[in-house]
Amino acid sequence: MDYAKAGLRREEFEAIRSALKREPTDCELLVMGVMWSEHCCYKSSKPLLRLFPTSGDSVVQGPGENAGVVAIGDGWGAAFKVESHNHPSAVSPYQGAATGVGGIIRDILAMGARPTASMDGLCFGDAQEPKTRRLARGIVAGIGGYGNAVGVPTVGGKTLYDKAYNDNPLVNAFSLGIVRLDRMASASTARPGQKVLLLGAATGRDGIAGAAFASAELGDDAKASRPQVQIGDPFEEKLLIEACLELHEAGLIVSMQDMGAAGITSSSSEIAAKSGVAIDLDLDAVPLREGDMEAWEILLSESQERMLLIVLPEKVDAVLSQATRWGLECAVIGDVREGDEWTARKDGTIVAALPATLIGEGCPELAWPAREPDDLESRWDFGPEEMDLPCDWAAETKALLASSDLTGKNWIHESYDSMVRLATVEGPGGPVSVIRVRENGRLLSMAMETDPRKTFLDPYRGGAETVARAIRALAVSGATPLGLTDCLNYPSPEKADQFWELAESVRGMADCCRELACPVVSGNVSLYNETSRHRILPTPLVVAVGLIDDPSELLRWGRWAKGDRLFLVGTVASSLSGSEYQQHRLGVLRGRPLAISFEMEQEFVDKARSTAHLQLARSGRPIAGGGLAVALAKETHQSGTGALVHMAVPTRPDVLLFGEGGPRALYAVPAQKLEAFRKNWASFPLTEIGIVGGEALHIRGLCSLTLAEISQSLGR
């Protein structure tokens, strides 16, 4: 077989041949082609990922396992990760999104954690396109259909629309689970003499080589790729979750591994490599959905709802009988031995025998050339004077509130079960999602952010802003960041200017993570998000997870009460470059986003956190997409009361109302807390901007919007 047919480059083929000191078999070539695909081995992004800080006081498990783990107090940990399922969702929206949810939940499960909360980051194409509506409906239905049935609440997420995603929507699934730190599962605990078991669904031909499919540009005829999309069964997954947690709790398993990309191959070879052992697989023992499957098909099938278990020989019977109780199929499919070889047999013949470490870690890294885009300077060429000031500020604000990015997403949020498991303190639709950890009485605050437009305009600043936004949101809610997971969604790295965008934005994210002490504990890279017609914007998406020690230290939002004073903290003059307003009003993407000041970010974070901890405000909302005006409108809407805003306008009114960027928040402060609040924010830019009350949001000299008008614009 030709190595190129297996998806390997010449130098990769040579690396395999020299490691084996012989010609690889066809089956081995196919296996290596998938395992050394971008999706599985990150060969293009690995050097960049090393920029991320990965250690910190709270980090128990950094990148490299199925999910990262941070300590959340009292011997408990939170395991979390975000992962893309972009290509499958483009081809088959319902199943693509559903199996994305299923896959990330199993990653959490593989750490021995009980999956407790999910979130989803969705980037759709132009909202006016019928194709976008079809894809969006299918993707949202898939997430709901799977997540609801499996009993893991979807507590939040992020949705944005841009024509850059017309052909290539993004689906980033995040999940978090709670684990007792002394009972964490790991891929590095397998020992010779133990047995390899496969628990869950039978293996079929669905999703074969899906990882390779995810590592190439999408074909123009997406339907031809349907066989590479997996089919999900949330009922089976629910049983699998309960069975695995029960087996783990009872001490019946040594290690477990999710079977996601590259199925049996990746899960078993990873355990072998990390544990420093050999694994022999007997493919004849694998329960199959179709009898005539070839060895390579069995090895690379991405059939869903399967877990690989490593079990002590004397406990195999107990595991099999537990599986029966849950109505799950379970089979012994191999042995752990001394050595470092990963071997697969079929019909008594060895079909593949490869060094385990070569499979997962041996792929030569790719160093793509990076070049600053020729048009970078012209991307920055924008001044607000290019925009006319609107003559009707009320109409402009209403139209912005009703724009596809900012308007209410109830049709999405309400189609997800956000409350099952009785942990959801703040569900979808707010700046952060908050869950209660029953095990120790503390709260976890989670903020999902992405800002592809600013990242496109200035990758370094946009990357840093993305991370900063998440950390600001945590701080305003009262949380201390423990760690962050990232999903890097980009077009092909093989074009020098696109690779530069990737590299620069990762540098910005990494700097921000380091400066604000928020280590990266897990993540995922999805490249080649482009078709012959379009490339996506550089879209790094992050979820920062923070801890609030006591529920009394949570500061909520949308809680204005009559008489509260309104304060803007942070600059009054931010930027319209890459803002929602610019997009909405001009339909262009130009200008240079604000530079980030880490000192100012840190000061903001500290002061925001003390505001929450001492409950110096009644309501607090970070200012992000749509700027101050949108923050005011959302607070008005959720609080059910208006306000009189009477601030001076030291800059252009559109910049004041709609500018974005930098550490900023809107607070409502009751009279008796005014002094303490002001003192807390001394030395930081602070402007008293108004007072709560009345039936309308009245911004003196600019506009007045009634509660009803705001509700209507927000679509609820």
Other CB atoms within 10 A of residue 441 CB = 12
SS3 content of the chain, % helix, strand, coil (to 5): 40, 25, 35
CB of 575 to another protein, least distance (A): 36
Closest to 92 measured CA to CA, from 139, 34, 157: 139
Residue 670 one-letter amino acid: P
- The count of chain residues that interact with another protein, using the rule CB under 8 A, is 31
Choosing from 233, 302, 305, 564, the residue that interacts with another protein (CB under 8 A) is: 233
What DSSP letter does each residue of 162-185 carry, written as one string? -GGGSSS-EEEEEEEEEEEGGG--
Report the C-alpha gap between 322 and 329 in whole angstroms: 10
Contact between 675 and another protein (CB under 8 A)?
A: no
Distance CA 455, CA 459 (A): 4
534 is catalytic: no
Which of 163, 183, 238, 379 binds another protein (CB under 8 A)? It is 238
Q: Which is the catalytic residue, given 39, 248, 413, 584?
A: 39
- Can you tell me which residue has the tokens 């070049």? 371
Nearer to another protein, 149 or 674 (CB): 149
Interface segment toward another protein; rule CB under 8 A; list 125-133, 227-235, 655-663, 694-702: 227-235
Contact 604, 597 (CB under 8 A): no
Sign of the dihedral through C-alpha 626, 520, 229, 43? positive
Asked if 469 and 422 touch (Cβ cutoff 8 Å), the reply is: no
**Binding-site string for another protein from residue 404 to residue 443, where x marks contact by CB under 8 A and - marks none:** ----------xxxxxxxxxxxx----------x-x-----
* Smaller CB separation from another protein, 106 or 472: 106
Q: Hey, which residues between 305 and 364 contact another protein (CB under 8 A)? A: 325-327
Closest approach of another protein to the CB of residue 99, in Å: 16
Contact call for residue 235 and another protein (CB under 8 A):
yes
CA distance linking residue 423 with residue 283, whole number of Å: 42
Whose CA is closest to 526, among 194, 36, 44?
44
Minimum CB distance to another protein smaller for 80 or for 416:
416
| Shortest reach from residue 544's CB to another protein, in Å | 22
Letters for 544-583 (x = contact with another protein by CB under 8 A, - = none) are: -------x--------------------------------
We find the least distance from the C-beta atom of residue 131 to another protein, in angstroms, to be 20
Q: Give the burial class of 169: count Cβ atoms within 10 A of its Cβ; 0-12 exposed, 13-18 middle, 19 or more buried.
A: buried
Question: Among residues 274 and 436, whose Cβ is nearest to another protein?
Answer: 436
Q: Does 84 bind another protein (CB under 8 A)?
A: no
- CA dist 139 → 86, 95, 147, 359 (Å): 10, 8, 12, 33
Q: Is 39 known to be catalytic?
A: yes
**For another protein, which is the closer residue by CB, 144 or 591?**
144
3-state secondary structure 378-397: HHCCCCHHHCCCCCCHHHHH
* Alpha-carbon span 177 to 191, nearest angstrom: 27
Minimum distance from residue 93 beta carbon to another protein (Å): 15
Q: How many CB atoms lie within 10 A of CB 531?
A: 18
Cβ-based nearer residue to another protein, 75 or 327: 327
**181 lies in the binding site for another protein (CB under 8 A):** no
CB nearer to another protein: pick between 245 and 252: 245
List the interface residues with another protein, window 126-155 (CB under 8 A): 141, 144-145, 148-151
Query: Could you give the residue numbers annotated as active site?
Result: 39, 85
Residues lying near another protein in the complex (CB under 8 A): 141, 144-145, 148-151, 233-236, 238-239, 325-327, 414-425, 436, 438, 551
